[in-house]
């Protein structure tokens, strides 16, 4: 008697599992709209701009410096900062970009990247800056010349 009870229970379990498998198969084969819309426009792939900011003579990395990527055509501005190695990276939509770095008092830019033309999927890795001391021009001392030449003793 106990054996019959176990067989009946096993039979019920097999039927229940079979029914669930059939229901899942029917649900998977339903008709409807696709999950991905093939008519939608594909997303544009971004490009990447990366570079470094280095100190005088390009030897020392400049850490924690504010860097901007400016889209030349739209004026859109992205802000980032340099890491411990002086590096920075921007993910940008396709376009033309000018890269700017914030200078501290007494600094000037010795080397800067040109305007970068970024296409979808581009990787521009040469947006490098070299900073140097500000070159102050000293005014020439004012000399009076009355046209008589050097004074004689």
Position 20 in a domain: no
Position 147 in a domain: no
> Considering its fold, how many domains does the chain have in total?
1
pLDDT of 115 > 70? The answer is yes
Position 148 in a domain: no
Chain length of the chain: 153
- Measured from the Cβ of residue 97, the count of other Cβ atoms closer than 10 Å reads 26
Residue 57 DSSP one-character state:
G
pLDDT of 76 > 90? The answer is yes
CATH number, domain of 93, equals: 2.60.40.10
Q: How confident is the model over 4-55, as pLDDT tens digits?
A: 656 677 677 767 676 666 766 655 565 544 444 444 445 568 999 999 999 9
Q: Are 101 and 113 in contact (CB under 8 A)?
A: no
Position 105 in a domain: yes
CA distance 121 to 123: 7
84-108 average pLDDT score: 95
pLDDT of 104 > 90? The answer is yes
Position 31 in a domain: no
CA distance 127 to 115: 9
Residue 100 is part of which domain span?
47-133
pLDDT band at residue 136 using 50, 70 and 90 as cut-offs: low
pTM beyond 0.75: no
Residue-level pLDDT at 44: 63
Position 7 in a domain: no
Side-chain half-sphere CA neighbours of 32 within 13 A: 8
SS3 state of residue 69: strand
Decide: residue 83, CB within 10 A, 0-12 exposed, 13-18 middle, 19+ buried: middle
């Amino acid at each position: 008697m106990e054996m019959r009870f176990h067989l009946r229970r096993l039979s019920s379990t097999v039927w229940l599992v079979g029914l669930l498998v059939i229901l899942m198969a029917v649900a998977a084969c339903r008709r409807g709209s696709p999950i991905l819309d093939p008519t939608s426009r594909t997303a544009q792939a971004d490009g990447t701009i990366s570079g470094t900011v280095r100190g005088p003579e390009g030897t020392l990395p400049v850490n924690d410096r504010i860097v901007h990527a400016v889209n030349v055509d739209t004026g859109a501005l992205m802000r980032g900062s340099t890491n411990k190695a002086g590096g920075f990276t921007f993910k940008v939509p396709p376009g033309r970009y000018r890269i700017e770095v914030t200078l501290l008092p007494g600094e000037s830019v010795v080397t800067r990247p040109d305007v970068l033309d970024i296409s979808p999927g581009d990787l521009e890795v040469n947006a490098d800056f070299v900073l140097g001391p500000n070159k102050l021009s000293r005014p020439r001392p004012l000399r009076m010349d009355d046209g008589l030449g050097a004074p004689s003793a």
